Amino acid sequence: MTLLLLWRGMFIVGFLVPATGSAADPATIAIAMRLDNISGFSTREKTFSVDGTLWLSYSDELAGALDARNIKPIDLILFQNRLNPWDSTIDQLTHGHARLASGRQYSGYQFAATFYANEIDYQHFPFGGITLSVVVEPRVGAAELLGRELRVAVVPDGAELGSRAGLSGYDLDRWAFVDEAYKRSTKIVGGAAATESRAVFNVYYTANNYAAAVKWVLPLTVVMLIMLLTPSLSGSLVSERLAVPPTILLTIALMQQSYRENLPSVPYLTFLDKLYAYSFVVTLAFFLSFIWAANAQRASSRTDDVGQAGRRSRVDLATQALTLVGYILIVAISA
């Protein structure tokens, strides 16, 4: 009862503008939404689960048309990015149509469903941010049911976010419930499948940079530091120097495979992809330089050994310096 009174008070403020007009004018359903719980976010599948409440407000004229056709208000709209409708629930909170002090009528619903976040961009992964959206639009064929066009609109200040909306590894930034400029034109069934309005509840998260760095970047950093320090070994330790790059290659290959299991296939390189690709090239470069140094040492005479050692040292130093410059450039370009 307390929750119902709270939402009734919000609606009194939000629905003061009546929706009247001729039969040719579009009918409007005003929407308010509260997301109580967001959970189960999968970076690979780009899916998440939401428990929340949805409140629909409409004119007496629209309410009469719904009753005449034995249609519920929820039958006129749909969650555009909902997955597996058979595995979701929508329960009505109000008994029939409830009336606001402004004269408009409304219905409340509680829902639990899984949604798909198609717009997530992983180019800066594991840093950057993600946006999870719940999209509401008129159901295809709603205009034919009513005999007039139907649009959805967002109630001013009609969005709330519960305390259980946090995601592991991400910090909640902000949220907004907005009307989105959208029009889907179609020639299917004479244009009956067209849609001209959409309401989107966006929840914005930013990655926890410290946690992301410790989990994904630190292991690669430690492994590549070992690779960078390997040229510091004495040139006489030929076998030891040659054994390090193959071990490093295998290690970063396993690390990359583990990381890629957490992401979907994407048509671009993420920040970590660039680091791993460059690390492969660097390790191969060190391996080739070690092979060259070993062959040069074996072929050099005793009198020329000092000069060859100095040349090998300069090559090792140049390779180390160029490697560090490359990593700095990748970070600077990807920032």
- So where are the chain's domains? 2-207, 211-334
pTM summary value? 0.80
The pLDDT value given to residue 331? 92
**Facing residues of 34 across strands?**
53, 160
The predicted-structure confidence for 79-100, as pLDDT tens digits, reads as follows 999 999 898 999 999 887 888 7
pLDDT at position 231, please? 87
Cα–Cα dist 6/260, whole Å: 46
Could you tell me the mean pLDDT of each successive run of 10 residues in the chain, 335 residues long?
44 40 70 95 94 93 88 91 92 84 85 93 92 92 79 90 90 91 60 69 93 93 94 78 93 93 90 96 93 78 60 83 94 86
d(CA 131, CA 118): 10
Check residue 104 and give its pLDDT.
83
Instruction: Give just the sign of the alpha carbon dihedral 252, 170, 87, 84.
Output: negative
Q: Is 56 left (phi over 0), alpha (psi -120 to 50) or beta?
A: beta
What's the CA dihedral at 151, 8, 34, 3 to 10 degrees?
-150
* Domain 2-207 identical in fold to domain 211-334: no
User: Phi/psi of residue 166, each to 5°?
Assistant: -80, 150
Alpha carbon distance 118, 133 (integer Å):
9
Q: In the prediction, which pLDDT does 89 show?
A: 94
The whole-number pLDDT of residue 18 equals 38
**Which pLDDT value is given to residue 180?**
81
Q: Please state, in angstroms and rounded to a whole number, the distance separating the CA atoms of residues 112 and 138.
A: 19
**C-alpha triplet 153, 145, 69: angle, nearest 5°:** 105
Residues β-bridged to residue 108: 55
3-state secondary structure the chain: CHHHHHHHHHHHHHCCCCCCCCCCCCEEEEEEEEEEEEEEEECCCCEEEEEEEEEEEECHHHHHHHHHCCCCHHHHEEECCEECHHHCEEEECCCCCEECCCCCEEEEEEEEEEEECCCCCCCCCCCCEEEEEEEEEECCCHHHHHCCCEEEEEEEEEEEEEEECCCCCEEEEEEEEEECCCCECCCHHHHCCCECCCEEEEEEEEECHHHHHHHHHHHHHHHHHHHHHHHHCCCCCHHHHHHHHHHHHHHHHHHHHHHHCCCCCCCCCCHHHHHHHHHHHHHHHHHHHHHHHHHHHHHCCCCCHHHHHHHHHHHHHHHHHHHHHHHHHHHHHHC
Distance, in Å, from the CA atom of 82 to the CA atom of 113, rounded to the nearest integer, reads 7
Other beta carbons less than 10 A from residue 292's beta carbon:
12
The per-residue pLDDT for 2 is: 43
Give the CATH number of domain 2-207; options: 2.70.170.10, 3.40.190.10, 3.40.449.10, 2.70.70.10: 2.70.170.10
- Look up the CATH architecture of domain 211-334: Up-down Bundle (1.20)
Residue 228: burial class (beta carbons within 10 Å; 0-12, 13-18, 19+): middle
Token pair of 81, please? 């990015």
Residue 69 contacts residue 16 (beta carbons within 8 Å):
no
Phi, psi of 200 (to 5 degrees): -125, 125
